[in-house]
Structures are given as C-alpha cells and as structure tokens.
C-alpha cells in the first residue's frame, strides 16, 4: 500500500511544497507533533511560527470550538460579527500609533503585505517600493515581487521595486560590521532622494533570508530616514512578531512606530489569519479593492483574539525571552566546546525564540555549509525533531513559545547531535536528494 508521502506526491501539487524530509504529521500537542504510528517529534519550527502557541493550546481550541458551534457566516466582506470587529479593536490597542487607524483582516502574511504595499501605492500616488535583498514578504502579487528571496530564485521582480542591502553584521556587504548600518541607510536614502517612493518595507529580523539580526539602531535610522523624506514605513512582523523576539513586536527593540504593521502566522494560532494596522487614509480606500470572501472569518478571528489574550495572560514575550536565552546559551556552549561538529557553527544569533544557527564549512571563510544544513535537518528529523533551514545554510529554530525549560534542553541536545552526526556522514546524498529545500 502506498505511504502517505507517496499519495501526497501523486495527488498534491508540487508548486506549493517546501520539503526537507518525509515528515508526516497526524496530530500534535504542546511543543510536539505525532507521526502516524505514534513517533513524537519535538517541533522546533512551529510550522514556520504559525503555531506560535504550540499545538492545541486550550485557549485557542476553546475559542475555535465555540465559534464553530455558533456559526456566524463565513467572513467580513458584507457583514460584521463581534470577533472580526473585536480583533480589529484588539490590534489597534496593541500596536503603537496615533490618529485615525484601521485594520485590514486577511488570510496570510502574503495578502497582508500585498494589501499594505498596494494601499501605500494607491494612497501616495507613487509607484516605487524600496525593499531589502533576500527579504521575504509573501508568495502573491506585489508582496512576491518585492521579496528578495523570490528574486534570488529567478521570479520576476516588481517593475517598480528596488532592492538594497540589509545590514548583516556576520557577513557584512561592506566588509566591515561597523559600517553595515550606515551603508544600508545610505542606499535607502539614495532611493528616497530619487523620489516617487510609495513605501519602504522591512523585516525587523530578516528571517527567510537567513535569520539575519541587524545591529541596534538600524530600524530607528530607517524610520527617521522615512520620516525625513515623507515616505511610509511598513514593518513586516509576520514571522517573528507577536512575542517571539522576547518583546511584543520586534520593532519595539528600536522603539519605533512604523506607519503600517503586517501580522500573520502566530496571530491565527494555526488557522489562516493575517492583519495590517495602519492609517485610515491609507487603508480605507478605495472601497472593495482588497476582497477575499472569507477574510475576517468568524472562526479565525475568534482564534486570533484568543491568541492575543494568551500572549498577555501567559506573558509569552517574557517566556520567549527566557527560553530563548537558555537555548542560545546551550547552542553557544556547544559552539565553543571543541566537540565534534562544533567547528561548523559559524554564528548563533537571534532574539528571543527566533534563533539562527549559521553553519559554515570553516569559520575563517564563513562559506555557507548548505550541504551540511540539508543533512543536519534531515538527521534532526531522524532523531526526533522538526527544524528547517533558511538562507541555504542557517538552521531556523523557532519552537512554539510555550516550550518548557526541559524541552529546550532536549532541543539543544538533538540539534547539536544532528549537526555532529550529519557532519560525520550519517546522512547520505541519496537521502536528501528529493528535498530541494529552500
């Protein structure tokens, strides 16, 4: 009989797959996923952060169940219901800003970013968008066209999109970590001076591009630059916002107030839900220009409200800061231990529970160890953990933010063992050949 993976290959379109190993999931609980047959895997991805509160959080389950038992239609397109309006109000209270503001409710980070970008173009009457090399803002429309990751992969860039270098202190595009912020800001400034820029879009921590953490001061400099030129700043908090960076918003670290903020992933507690918070004059018109029939869906918005309540009730940002420091400490200890495989850890970086383990062929050249990353995530799956890589060679460690101290210790153990054993040749080229990855 065909396995689930074989049936998937025969039935589900490859166009929507990003696979790293033959992961089959039947259920989940807390920080764990269960394969058919009962093997449990420690989830160190949280479905790319979409299950930020883990699997089956009681508050989310209860909210979904109640909403499903009192069906209130399927979306906010032509009717309102208490949770769509309530979620918008909750988000307005949670996001800094002044003046009349509105909330767009959508399905995914992709449509949230796309709508934010289109709305900025429409409201300003300008066409150019400044984005960063290797950024990721989504897989549709303008969001896709200004995603450096897609452009890297050969997808056509948006005709009026421009890409500037993101400040990466580990692999500085200037050759010197001390100058990356100034050089990035200068590149943005040059574009803004040329005019016709509708907005700048930025991830406070660049995730799919390789979990790149910019030096402090970059975002505040960017915000100041945008203000000076009268250009809107969109902060894309889809991946590492809502508690994960150890703060409610990752832009809080630089104390800025972006003009628009996009949310997704964690917001839905595992269900499709996204949002953009921004000025009314940008998000209010033209009417009916961003229509998804089931946007503002009663079940998703009920889940979203439960997620936001839980972030506060369970002090999730504080928990992410604490568990993140523990995990970074354990990974750093291994990197400095001189144990087999530790020499391939070029850099361990992150904030809170958004951690990148940058694997290199050697620490002097910092050459990306893509092959090792591919094999290490495969080995981790064999050993009982789910973790993926970004930027070709960076293990992206983003477990559910409810992970316990014991589970963090297990995470460090499985990750370091997977790296050493993969480096030791326990995973063959044939095993990873079917997984083109990212």
Ligand X SMILES: Cc1ncc(COP(=O)(O)O)c(C=O)c1O
Question: Contact residues for ligand X (CB under 6 A)?
Answer: 48, 108-110, 113, 136-139, 203, 207-208, 236, 238-239, 264-265
- Within 8 A by CB and 6+ apart from 207, the residues are 136, 239, 240, 354, 390, 396
Closest contact distance (angstroms) between CB of 137 and ligand X is 5
Whose Cβ is closer to ligand X: residue 178's or residue 291's?
A: 291
Residue 393 token pair:
């060679």
Interatomic CA distance for residues 31 and 46, integer angstroms: 8
Radius of gyration over every alpha carbon of the chain, rounded to an integer in angstroms = 21
Q: Using CB positions, name the residue nearest to ligand X.
A: 109
Cis-peptide, bond into residue 340, ω within 30° of zero: no
Task: Give the nearer residue to ligand X in terms of CB position, either 222 or 423.
Answer: 222
| Residue 113 vs 402, nearer CB to ligand X | 113
Residues 6+ apart with CB under 8 A from 287: none
- The catalytically annotated residue of 104, 136, 378, 388 is 136
Could you tell me if 307 and 266 are in contact, meaning their C-beta atoms sit under 8 angstroms apart? yes
CB of 241 to ligand X, least distance (A): 9
289 and 106 in contact (C-beta within 8 Å)? no
Nearer to ligand X, 270 or 341 (CB): 270
Question: Bridge partners of 42?
Answer: 32, 385
CB-CB contact of 36 with 227 (8 Å)? no
Of 92 and 140, which has the nearer Cβ to ligand X? 140
Report the residue number, 210 or 341, with the smaller CB distance to ligand X: 210
In angstroms, the CA 83 to CA 35 distance is 34
| Residue 136 annotated in active site | yes
- Considering the complex, state which of residue 238 and residue 327 has its C-beta at the smaller distance from ligand X: 238
Within 10 A of 23 (CB to CB), how many other CB atoms are there? Answer: 14
Nearest distance from C-beta of residue 36 to ligand X, angstroms: 26
Does residue 286 have a cis bond before it (omega within 30 degrees)? yes
What's the CA gap between 357 and 378, in Å, rounded? 15
Determine the length of the chain. Answer: 438
Strands (E), 317-438: 345-351, 354-359, 385-386, 388-390, 394-397
Q: How many of the other CB atoms lie within 10 Å of CB of 420? A: 18
Tokens 């001076």 map to which residue? 193
Least separation in angstroms between CB 273 and ligand X: 9
Contact by Cβ (8 Å): 120, 131: no
Minimal distance, residue 409 CB to ligand X, in Å: 28
Residue recorded with tokens 């270098």:
165
Residues 6+ apart with CB under 8 A from 89: none
CB of 143 to ligand X, least distance (A): 7
Closest distance to ligand X from the beta carbon of 330 (Å) = 25
Q: How far is the CB of 348 from ligand X (least distance, A)?
A: 20
Is the Cβ of residue 33 or residue 354 nearer to ligand X in the bound state? 354
Pick the closest to residue 57 from 269, 301, 354 (CA basis).
Answer: 269
Q: Is the dihedral of CA 39, 43, 47, 51 positive or negative?
A: positive
Residues β-bridged to residue 105: 275
Catalytic residue annotation: 136
């Amino acid at each position: 009989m065909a396995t689930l993976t074989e049936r998937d290959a025969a039935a589900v379109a490859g166009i929507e797959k990003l696979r790293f190993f033959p992961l089959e999931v039947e259920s989940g609980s807390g920080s764990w996923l269960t394969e058919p047959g009962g093997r449990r895997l420690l989830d160190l991805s949280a479905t790319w952060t979409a299950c930020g509160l883990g699997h089956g959080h009681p508050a989310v389950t209860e909210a979904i169940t109640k909403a499903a038992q009192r069906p209130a239609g399927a979306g906010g397109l032509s009717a309102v219901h208490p949770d769509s309006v309530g979620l918008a109000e909750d988000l307005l209270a949670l996001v800094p800003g002044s003046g009349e503001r509105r909330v767009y409710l959508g399905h995914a980070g992709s449509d949230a970013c796309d709508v934010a970008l289109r709305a900025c173009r429409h409201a300003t009457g300008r066409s150019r968008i400044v984005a960063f090399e290797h950024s990721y803002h989504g897989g549709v429309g303008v969001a896709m066209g200004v995603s450096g990751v897609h452009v890297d992969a050969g997808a056509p860039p948006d005709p009026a999109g421009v890409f500037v270098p993101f400040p990466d202190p580990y692999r500085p595009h200037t050759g010197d970590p001390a100058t990356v912020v100034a050089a990035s800001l200068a590149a943005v400034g040059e574009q803004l001076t040329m005019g016709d820029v509708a907005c700048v879009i930025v991830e406070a921590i660049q995730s799919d591009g390789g979990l790149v953490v910019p030096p402090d001061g970059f975002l505040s400099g960017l915000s100041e630059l945008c203000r000076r030129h009268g250009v809107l700043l969109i902060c894309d908090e889809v991946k590492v916002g809502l508690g994960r960076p150890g703060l409610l918003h990752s832009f809080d670290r630089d104390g800025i107030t972006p003009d628009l903020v996009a949310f997704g992933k964690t917001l839905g507690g595992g269900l499709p839900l996204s949002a953009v918070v921004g000025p009314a004059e940008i998000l209010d018109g033209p009417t009916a220009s961003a229509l998804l029939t089931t946007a503002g869906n009663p079940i998703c918005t009920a889940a979203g409200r439960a997620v936001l309540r839980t972030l506060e009730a369970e002090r999730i940002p504080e928990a992410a800061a604490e568990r993140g420091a523990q995990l970074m400490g354990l990974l750093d200890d291994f990197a400095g231990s001189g144990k087999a495989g530790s020499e391939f850890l070029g850099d361990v970086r992150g904030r809170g529970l958004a951690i990148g383990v940058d694997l290199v062929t050697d620490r002097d050249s910092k050459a990306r160890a893509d092959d090792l990353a591919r094999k290490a995530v495969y080995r981790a799956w064999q050993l009982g953990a789910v973790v993926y890589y970004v930027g070709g060679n960076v293990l992206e460690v983003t477990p559910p933010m409810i992970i316990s101290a014991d589970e963090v210790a297990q995470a460090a153990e499985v990750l370091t063992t997977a790296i050493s054993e993969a480096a030791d040749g326990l995973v063959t080229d044939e095993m990873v050949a079917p997984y083109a990855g990212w």
